[in-house]
Chains A and B, each alone.
Chain A
Amino acid sequence: MFQIISAIVLRRLLLAIPTLLLLSLVVFVVLRMLPVDPLAMLLPASATAADAAALRQQLGFDKPIPQQFLIWLWKAVNGNLGSSINFRQPVVQLMLAAVPATLELTLTGLLLALVISVPGGVLAFVLHQRRHEAAADLIVALMQSIPSFLWSLLLILAFGVFWPVLPFSGRVGDGVTLPDITGFALVDLLLVGRFEAWLSAVSHLLLPALALALGFAPLVIRVLRSSLIDAANEPYVEVARLRGLSETRILWRHMLKNASLPTITMIGVQFGFLFGGALLVEMIFGFPGVGNLMVQAVKGNDLPLIQGIALIFCVLMLVITVIVDVLYAVLNPRLRTL
C-alpha cells in the first residue's frame, strides 16, 4: 500500500511542475495584459509623469513581459514571490500568515459539510420514493439556492444578534493572542496548552465554517443520494440480503463505502468551491485568510500579490488532487495498480 501511495504522489508531483509553470505563465501574462496600472495607488496626486516613469523602472514594470516573467520565475523558484504593492511586505510572508487560516476554515467547513451531508444523503436515500421525498428535495434545493455569503449573514443574524451565543468577527476573542508555531490556531493553541483560548478559536470558527458548509453540503447530499440509489441496484446488495444481513448493515457497511467513491471525487473537484466561498465569508467575518487578502489585492490592483495567491491556490488544488487519488486507492482495491 505504501508503495502505491508513494507512486501516486510521485507521479502527481512530476505532473505538478509543468502544470505550475503553465499556470504561472498564464496568470502572469493575463495580469499584465489587463488594463490595470499597479502604480495608480502608489503615487500621490502631485506625482508627475516623470515620477511615474521612475517608479515604473524601480519596480521593473518597464521591462518586456517575457523578461518580467523570467525574473519573477527565477525569484519564485528561490522562494521569493516579490513584494506586495499595497502591503509593502513580501508576498510569501503575507501568504504564510493567511494560508493556514483559510485552510483551517475550509477544512472545518468541509468537516461540518460532511457531518451534515453524510446523514443527510443517507436520509435522502431512505426517503427515496417515499411520502416525504418531495419535502427532503425541497429542503436540499433551498439549501443549495442560498450562497455562502448569504448563509453568513443569516447565521450572524441568528446566532450573533437574535440569539447571541457565538462570536462572528475575527479568529479569536479580544485578549487572546495566537502563538506563532504552525499558523493553525487550533493546533498551536493545543500545542501550548491554552485550552480556553482554543475554545475561543473554535467558537470563532464555527459560524464562518458553518456558512461554508451549508453552501457545500447540498451538493454532497445530492451526489451521495444518487450514488446510493445506484448502489441499491448492484448485485452485491442482493447477495448481502440473501446472506440475511439487515438493511441498516447493508446500507452503512456496504453501500455507503461504494457510494463514497463518486462523492469523494466530487468533493475533490468541488473543493475549490469552498475556497471561492471563503473569499466573501472571510470578508464578512473579518477572518484573516487568503480570501480576505485576495479581496484587498484585487481592490488595490496588487499584481504581485494576486499572482502569488493564484500560485498558492494552484498548489493547494494539486495537493487536494493527490489526496483524492490516494483516498481512491485506499478505498478501491481495483485502482491499486502502478
Chain B
Amino acid sequence: MMTGPLHFSADPHDADVQLALEDPARRRMILGSLAAGVGALMPWKLARAEALDKSALSIAYPVDVPTWDPNALSIPTIQNLYQSVFDSPLRYSPQLTLQPRQVTEWKWADDKATRLEISLRDDIVFHDGTRLTMDDVKFSLADRGKADKKLIVGGMLNTVSDIEVISPTKGVIVFNRPTPAAPIYLAFLAAYVVPKAYMERVGPEGFNAKPIGAGPYQMVEHLRGSRIVLEAFDKYWGGSPSIRQVVFQIVPEASARVALIESGRVGLATQLPMREVQRLAQKTGIVTKVYPFSSVYMIRIPSYVTPMDNDHVRSAMHLAIDKAALSKAFYGGVAKPLSVMTPEGTPSYVADFNYSFDKTKALAELNAAGFGPSNPVSFTLLSTNGVFPNDYDLARAIAGMWKTVGINASIEETTPAKLIEAAQNGKLTGPLLYSWANSTGDPENYAGRIFDPRLRFSTWKDMSLSPRIDALMTEVDEGKRMAGYKQLNVESSQKSWAIPLLQAVETVAYSSTLEPTLFGNGYILPAEFKYR
C-alpha cells in the first residue's frame, strides 16, 4: 500500500500551535486528530489496495456481456463469463484435450456419426435448486435454435435434428448428416444448457435480467458497462470454488486496465498491450504472462477482389512477410510463426511443412504477375485497431514488408462489425488482417470454416472446395479426417487462399498472491483460480 506524508499548514506565527507541536505528546494528539479528520472527510481512502481478501477477486476485463442468454451469441471474449455461470457439457483442458463436464460420457451409437449417445451427471443443479436433466439439454441445444433464428446455437449446431430423451440423464443427439466432429461443439460457443422451465416461465427478457445457470458461480449483479458480480454456488457439482466472490470490472480502455492492476485495485487484468506487460513485469507483486493460445492471426483473402484472384500476387504477398520478425517485434517472439492455418500442438498441424520468408521469390512471383518495385500492385489492407494486441501495428509492418517487393497496400482501419458485415455481404474491398478464434483446436473450426465458400462469412469463395469440405465434415474415420485437413492446410497455404501469420498471444497480469490456471484456448476461468 502506498502512503504519503501528511501535509498540513499552520500559521508559523501562532505561538500556541508552535508550542503544541514542540510537545511530542500533544503533537501526536494533534496529528492524530488531523489524520482522523482527514480520514473522516476522505472515505475514498478506501480506494487504496486493502489487505488481501482471499475469498474475493476483482478482474479488469475489456468486454461486457451483451446478453445473459448463452445460446444467443458466439462472441469468444465473453465465454469466460458464460463458462463461469453456465458451465458447459464438455470442456477443453488447459492442454486442449476434450474433457467431461456436465456430460460424463459420449459415444457414437452408429458408424455414420449421426447418433451421439450422451450421459449426464446426476448431481447437476441449477442456481434455483432445480435439477438439470436431459429435457433441459434438448431444449437448449436442439429446440431453441429451431424456434428462434436469432439464437446462434442453431447455427453452431446446424446439423442437429433432434435430441431423443431416454431418461433424465441419458439421451441421443440425432444429426441430419454425419457429424463426426460433433463432440467438439459441446465445448464450443453457444452450446450451454439453460433451465427449460425457468426460461419458459420468465421468457428471454426475464432470463436476461436474472440468469440462472448450473455453473460454479451465480450472477448476482450486473451494472451494464461497469461490473459483473459473481458469487460462488455452493451446490455446484464440482464443489464450490475457493474464491467466493468474483467481480469482473468492465474496462474497455487498456490503459485503465493497466492502471487498475498497477495500483493493486484488481487481482488480475487481461488483454494488455505488450509494452505495458513488459513494464509491469518489472513491478514487484505483479506477475505477467504472454502466452500463445489457440487463435490464429491471419490475412484473409477475398477471392472476388482484384488482384487477389491472381495466384502470383497472393504468393508474393505470402513470401514477402517475415513472420518471425513480426513475432519478435510485436510479441516478444512468443507468437509462433505459422505456415498453416492451425497452431502447433493441434491435431491438424503439419510439422514438416514450412512456408519460408523469401524476398527473392516474392519479387519473382510479382514479376510473373507483371508487377515489381518500379510498377507496384496496389490494394487496400483492412485492419482493426485494438481488437487484438498490436493489430494495427502488425498491418503497418506487413505493408512495409510488401512495399519492398512492389506491393503498395494502403491500410484502412475498420471494426469487427464492419468486417463481418462486409464479409457476409461479399463487399470486402481488400484482404483483411484477422484474429480467428477457435477454442477447440479442431481443424473443422479452422480450415473447415475458413475455406467453406457457402458460408456467408467466408472470403475465399472457391465453390469447387464445397464437396471437399463436405467430405471432411462427414468423414467418420478420424485418421482420414485429420489427413484430409492437413492436406487442405498445406494446399491453402501453398496457394495462399489465406495467409497464416502467427499463433495468437494472450496477455495477462495478476497479483503474485494469485495462482491462476491459464488455458491453451485463452480461457480465464476464476473457478480454477486460487490464492497462494
Point out residues on A near B: beta carbons under 8 Å: 35-37, 39-49, 51-52, 54-55, 58, 86-90, 94, 97-98, 153, 156-157, 160-161, 163-171, 173-174, 177-178, 196, 199-200, 202-203, 206, 282-289, 292-293, 295-296, 299-301
Contact A296–B64 (Cβ < 8 Å): yes
B44's partner among A39, A42, A94, A167 (CB-CB below 8 A) is A167
Contact B64–A203 (Cβ < 8 Å): no
CB of B424 within 8 A of chain A?
yes
Q: Can you list, as one digit per residue, whether each of B195-237 has a CB less than 8 Å from chain A (1) or not (0)?
A: 0000000001100100000000000010111110100000000
Contact B2–A163 (Cβ < 8 Å): yes
Q: Once bound together, how far apart are the Cα atoms of A299 and B4, in whole Å?
A: 42
Known: A48-B456, A88-B66, A299-B417. A42 touches B223 (CB 8 A): no
* B472 vs chain A, min Cβ distance (A): 15
CB of B290 within 8 A of chain A?
no
CB of B154 within 8 A of chain A?
yes
Contact B47–A286 (Cβ < 8 Å): no
Contact A286–B67 (Cβ < 8 Å): no
Contact B69–A88 (Cβ < 8 Å): yes
Closest B residue to A88 using CB positions? B67
Contact A296–B456 (Cβ < 8 Å): no
Q: Once bound together, how far apart are the Cα atoms of A17 and B66, in whole Å?
A: 33
Known: A86-B66, A301-B421. A288 touches B223 (CB 8 A): yes
Contact B221–A170 (Cβ < 8 Å): no
Q: Can you list, as one digit per residue, whether each of B53-82 has a CB less than 8 Å from chain A (1) or not (0)?
A: 000101010001011010010100000000
Stretch in contact with the other chain, from B134-142, B250-258, B480-488, B514-522: B250-258
The 4 closest A-B CB pairs, nearest first, are A44-B155, A203-B44, A40-B421, A292-B225
Q: Once bound together, how far apart are the Cα atoms of A177 and B49, in whole Å?
A: 20
Q: Provide the main secondary structure of the chain A interface.
A: loop
CB of B407 within 8 A of chain A?
no
Stretch in contact with the other chain, from B20-28, B172-180, B259-267, B369-377: B259-267
Contact B253–A283 (Cβ < 8 Å): yes
Q: Once bound together, how far apart are the Cα atoms of A157 and B415, in whole Å?
A: 28
CB of B48 within 8 A of chain A?
yes
Q: Once bound together, how far apart are the Cα atoms of A36 and B419, in whole Å?
A: 10
Q: Once bound together, how far apart are the Cα atoms of A31 and B23, in whole Å?
A: 73
When distances are taken between beta carbons in the complex, the residues of chain B under 8 Å from A163 are 2, 4
CB of B149 within 8 A of chain A?
yes
When distances are taken between beta carbons in the complex, the residues of chain A under 8 Å from B454 are 48
CB of B45 within 8 A of chain A?
yes
A43's partner among B227, B250, B424 (CB-CB below 8 A) is B424
**B190, B226, B229, B259: residue with the most chain A Cβ atoms closer than 10 Å:** B226
CB of B379 within 8 A of chain A?
no
When distances are taken between beta carbons in the complex, the residues of chain A under 8 Å from B457 are 45
Contact B225–A160 (Cβ < 8 Å): no
Contact A293–B44 (Cβ < 8 Å): no
Contact B43–A203 (Cβ < 8 Å): yes
Contact A42–B226 (Cβ < 8 Å): no
Q: Once bound together, how far apart are the Cα atoms of A167 and B50, in whole Å?
A: 12
CB of B249 within 8 A of chain A?
yes
When distances are taken between beta carbons in the complex, the residues of chain A under 8 Å from B260 are 160, 168-169
When distances are taken between beta carbons in the complex, the residues of chain A under 8 Å from B67 are 86-89
Q: Once bound together, how far apart are the Cα atoms of A285 and B205, in whole Å?
A: 28
| 19 A–B contacts from the bound complex (CB under 8 Å) | A40-B417, A40-B420, A45-B449, A45-B457, A88-B66, A88-B204, A160-B265, A161-B263, A164-B48, A164-B265, A165-B42, A166-B44, A169-B260, A200-B46, A203-B43, A203-B47, A206-B44, A292-B225, A299-B416
CB of B306 within 8 A of chain A?
no
When distances are taken between beta carbons in the complex, the residues of chain A under 8 Å from B156 are 44, 46
A-B contact sample (14 more), CB < 8 A, given A40-B420, A292-B225:
A37-B424, A44-B155, A46-B156, A48-B456, A88-B150, A163-B2, A164-B265, A167-B44, A168-B256, A169-B60, A169-B249, A173-B47, A206-B44, A284-B252
Q: Once bound together, how far apart are the Cα atoms of A285 and B421, in whole Å?
A: 30
Contact A88–B224 (Cβ < 8 Å): no
Closest A residue to B150 using CB positions? A42
* A303 vs chain B, min Cβ distance (A): 11
Q: Once bound together, how far apart are the Cα atoms of A317 and B4, in whole Å?
A: 44
* B462 vs chain A, min Cβ distance (A): 17
When distances are taken between beta carbons in the complex, the residues of chain B under 8 Å from A301 are 417-418, 421
Q: Once bound together, how far apart are the Cα atoms of A35 and B208, in whole Å?
A: 30
Closest B residue to A55 using CB positions? B149
When distances are taken between beta carbons in the complex, the residues of chain B under 8 Å from A90 are 205
* A275 vs chain B, min Cβ distance (A): 16
Contact A52–B456 (Cβ < 8 Å): yes
* A58 vs chain B, min Cβ distance (A): 7
CB of B152 within 8 A of chain A?
yes
When distances are taken between beta carbons in the complex, the residues of chain A under 8 Å from B226 are 169-171, 286-288, 292
**A43, A49, A177: residue with the most chain B Cβ atoms closer than 10 Å:** A43
CB of B158 within 8 A of chain A?
yes
Known: A42-B150, A87-B66, A171-B223. A51 touches B56 (CB 8 A): no
Q: Once bound together, how far apart are the Cα atoms of A86 and B66, in whole Å?
A: 6
Q: Once bound together, how far apart are the Cα atoms of A166 and B44, in whole Å?
A: 6
* A173 vs chain B, min Cβ distance (A): 7
When distances are taken between beta carbons in the complex, the residues of chain B under 8 Å from A48 are 454, 456
CB of B186 within 8 A of chain A?
no
